[in-house]
Amino acid sequence: MSIAHITDAHDDTSDVDDTELQGRAALEAWVERIAALTRPESIVWCDGSRSESDRLTKQLVADGKLIRLNPEWRPNSFLARSDPDDVARVESRTFISTTLEEDAGPTNNWVAPDEIRTELDVVFAGSMRGRTMYVVPFSMGPLGGRLSQLGVQITDSEYAVLSMGIMTRMGARVLDLIDAGTPWVATVHSVGAPLEPGEQDVPWPCNPTKYIVQFPETREVWSYGSGYGGNALLAKKCFALRIASAMGREEGWLAEHMLLIKLTDPRGRSYHIAAAFPSACGKTNLAMLRPSIPGWTVETIGDDIAWLRPGDDGRLWAVNPEAGFFGVAPGTGESTNATAVETLWGNTIFTNVALRDDGDVWWEGLTDTPPAHLVDWRGEDWTPDSGRTAAHPNSRFTVAAAQCPQIADDWEAPDGVPIDAIIFGGRRATNVPLVVEATDWRHGVYIGATISSEKTAAAEGTIGELRRDPFAMLPFCGYNMADHWAHWLSIGDTLRFDRAPRMFQVNWFRKGADGEFLWPGFAENARVLGWIAARVAGEARAEESPIGRLPLVEDLDLDGLDLTEETLEQLFAVDVDSWREEADLTEEFFSSFGSRLPAALSTELAALRYRLALA
């Protein structure tokens, strides 16, 4: 924790000199300083207890900010309806603030620290008036674990407190570690809606002006104006990805937008797999997969974020730093993700889904047939012929990972799990085959660096538009993306060549001429995992193609799937002309990084073009 930097930035708001303070005293001085700036009515230190969350939910229900669901169907569960203009991450208002612009890189919104601190001081001044300020100490990763990190979030949102209580290991035990001198990351959040005396609060306070500002150099986050997801639960994308990725670069580890699973084959051999897909591209679904092929099992370790560190044994080890799932609701149903449906039996906060007349929840895809009447995510009456969706496309559930019926026995292993395979993916209607294996680590890094995907509802913007999303980290990398690639290359150098994870690219979303998905996806994705495991075990063959190693179709277990010859061909087709065009676009993309681009990636691009020319 770099108290010194924060003090420098805000010495006008406090007369406490806490630069020399350690442990709890430093934390208390910081809390006082933020209170002096934001002027809350009261301060509450959160202990993470059940009675604390019960007290908060009761209060929010009484205030009309949460709806208690019918306990008969959904015990201890709640529905929150956000402001209709505060429904997703706001990338246009998300900033990486570093001294030098090139350290943030061309893919981030950069802003100079002095400039943004002046702006933040203005908006945060008095921003918590009339509200309670909560101090939320949390651990990312098991408390005291080798890969774990501590943080503290200050917030004036009870919804954020409750969500952080599910998503992190939150509460009093973290304070003991802080007391003992463990460093921690400081994060400050305000919804930016001060209450004047006697003023009636709204169900979802927020502010049209938003700032999500990361300071990787001083390891701080300042978030203003939004109450939603990645904007407001600062442990998640702001800390565990943007700040942690920058920490990992300095300290020799990786913070990635990846799910983690343990896959076990019919012979009882287990494989740990990490997979990076952009937002709303299937991480939660793959993390909770129930394989359609007999004898295989998947156990869940994490569904969104992985921290990875080379071990002394030459392998790459990973933990899920989170303690809960903040998952996309629409499309989550018995037939697609029965595990998620079971996980959500109770103790869940739902945001922006629809409310049934019986006091339970519903969203598109939960069941095939919608109920005859619902109250939609905006609180308006809804019937199937309303002509709009009942749940917001980025509506979400927040639930403890421990509730997942297939959570892995090693999901909280303090040193993490050894990774056997890394998968990159995205939504690609064309070009990208169902699965392809990288020839080596460097080629894998090239694949990760060049991932593109069609935009989804997880962020503001035009849905369906194709954009580059390297390592699925475009909105989450806390430093120059080209340096991120260089860091990946250097991590590869520290691994033992025969113990480094194998790397793959997958695409569940390729479409046929009729516009329909060619691949059934979901549980059937186990067939692809099966091939990946067989490659790791050295038991499946592959065929060289210009873009990497393709499975021999006869090595894929396709039993019981009725895919035509033609569909299979389309799923694996490598169209040389379109890949030449992709290579041209990649060259253009790479050129935006100037001299920061690692030479190894230019070499990979040249090698791809050479292979395409020969094809």
CB closer to ligand GTP out of 497 and 517: 517
Enumerate the known binding-site residues for Mn(2+): 237, 257, 304
Residue 259-288 contact track with ligand GTP, rule CB under 6 A, x = bound: ------------------x-xxxxxxx---
For residue 552, the 8-state DSSP code is P
Q: Cβ–Cβ contacts within 10 Å for residue 429, how many?
A: 16
From the CB of 304, what's the least distance to ligand SPV, in Å?
Answer: 5
From the CB of 338, what's the least distance to ligand SPV, in Å?
Answer: 21
CB closer to ligand GTP out of 277 and 441: 277
Which of ligand GTP, Mn ion, ligand SPV, none does residue 89 bind (CB under 5 to 8 Å by kind)?
A: ligand SPV
Which of ligand GTP, ligand SPV, Mn ion, none does residue 237 bind (CB under 5 to 8 Å by kind)?
A: ligand SPV
- N residues, the chain: 615
Q: What is the DSSP string of 469-499?
A: -GGG-TTT-SS-HHHHHHHHHHHHHHS-TTT
From the CB of 284, what's the least distance to ligand SPV, in Å?
Answer: 8
- Contact residues for ligand SPV (CB under 6 A)? 89, 229-230, 236-237, 279, 304, 326, 458
Q: Please give the torsion angle defined by the CA atoms of residues 144, 140, 403 and 357, in that order, rounded to the nearest 10 degrees.
A: 150
Which of ligand SPV, Mn ion, ligand GTP, none does residue 161 bind (CB under 5 to 8 Å by kind)?
A: none
Q: Provide CB contacts within 8 A for 272, sequence distance 6+.
A: 260, 261, 262, 263, 301, 318, 417, 418, 419, 420
Q: Is 379 left (phi over 0), alpha (psi -120 to 50) or beta?
A: left
Work out whether 155 is an interface residue with ligand GTP (CB under 6 A): no
- Residue spans of alpha helices (H) in 268-408: 283-287, 334-343
Residue with smallest beta-carbon separation from ligand SPV: 230
Q: Cβ–Cβ contacts within 10 Å for residue 58, how many?
A: 12
Which of ligand SPV, ligand GTP, Mn ion, none does residue 521 bind (CB under 5 to 8 Å by kind)?
A: ligand GTP
Which of ligand SPV, ligand GTP, Mn ion, none does residue 390 bind (CB under 5 to 8 Å by kind)?
A: none
SS3 of the chain: helix, strand, coil, percent, to 5: 35, 25, 45
From 46, 206, 238, 281, the catalytic residue: 281
Which residues in 482-493 are b (16+ Cβ under 10 Å) and which e?
Answer: bbbbbbbbebbe
Strands 132-140 and 169-170: antiparallel
Which of ligand GTP, ligand SPV, Mn ion, none does residue 525 bind (CB under 5 to 8 Å by kind)?
A: ligand GTP
Helix or strand (DSSP H, E) at 132? strand 132-140
CB closer to ligand GTP out of 281 and 432: 281
CB closer to ligand SPV out of 326 and 590: 326
Contacts to ligand GTP from residues 451-470, by CB under 6 A: 458
Residue with smallest beta-carbon separation from Mn ion: 304
Residue 236 exposed, middle or buried by CB count within 10 Å (0-12, 13-18, 19+): buried
In 3D, which of 95, 325, 306 has the Cα closest to residue 213? 95
Contacts to ligand GTP from residues 474-533, by CB under 6 A: 508-509, 517, 521-522, 525
Enumerate the known binding-site residues for substrate: 89, 228-230, 279, 394-396
Q: Provide CB contacts within 8 A for 119, sequence distance 6+.
A: 211
From the CB of 183, what's the least distance to ligand GTP, in Å?
Answer: 28
Enumerate the known binding-site residues: 89, 228-230, 237, 257, 279-285, 304, 394-396, 427, 522-525
CB closer to ligand GTP out of 292 and 602: 292
Contacts to ligand GTP from residues 539-598, by CB under 6 A: none
CB closer to ligand SPV out of 74 and 237: 237
- Gap between the Cα atoms of 285 and 330, Å rounded: 12
Rg (CA), the chain: 24
Which of Mn ion, ligand GTP, ligand SPV, none does residue 522 bind (CB under 5 to 8 Å by kind)?
A: ligand GTP
Contacts to ligand GTP from residues 353-392, by CB under 6 A: none
Write out the two tokens for 202.
């709204």
CB closer to ligand SPV out of 191 and 486: 191
Enumerate the known binding-site residues for GTP: 280-285, 396, 427, 522-525
Which of ligand SPV, Mn ion, ligand GTP, none does residue 282 bind (CB under 5 to 8 Å by kind)?
A: ligand GTP
- Contact residues for Mn ion (CB under 5 A)? 279, 304
In 3D, which of 217, 220, 235, 213 has the Cα closest to residue 307? 235
Is 238 among the residues known to form the active site? Answer: no
Work out whether 351 is an interface residue with ligand GTP (CB under 6 A): no
In 3D, which of 536, 609, 546 has the Cα closest to residue 573? 546
Q: How far is CA 215 from CA 4, 127, 533, in A?
A: 14, 20, 40
Q: Is 39 left (phi over 0), alpha (psi -120 to 50) or beta?
A: left
Q: How far apart are the first and last CA of the chain?
A: 54
Work out whether 395 is an interface residue with ligand GTP (CB under 6 A): no
From the CB of 140, what's the least distance to ligand SPV, in Å?
Answer: 14
CB closer to ligand SPV out of 14 and 453: 453
Which of ligand SPV, Mn ion, ligand GTP, none does residue 604 bind (CB under 5 to 8 Å by kind)?
A: none
Asked whether the beta carbons of 322 and 305 are under 8 A apart, the reply is yes
CB closer to Mn ion out of 220 and 304: 304
In 3D, which of 95, 62, 96 has the Cα closest to residue 78? 62
Question: Where does this chain bind ligand GTP (CB under 6 A)?
Answer: 277, 279-285, 303-304, 327-328, 330-331, 336, 458, 508-509, 517, 521-522, 525
Name the residues annotated as catalytic.
281
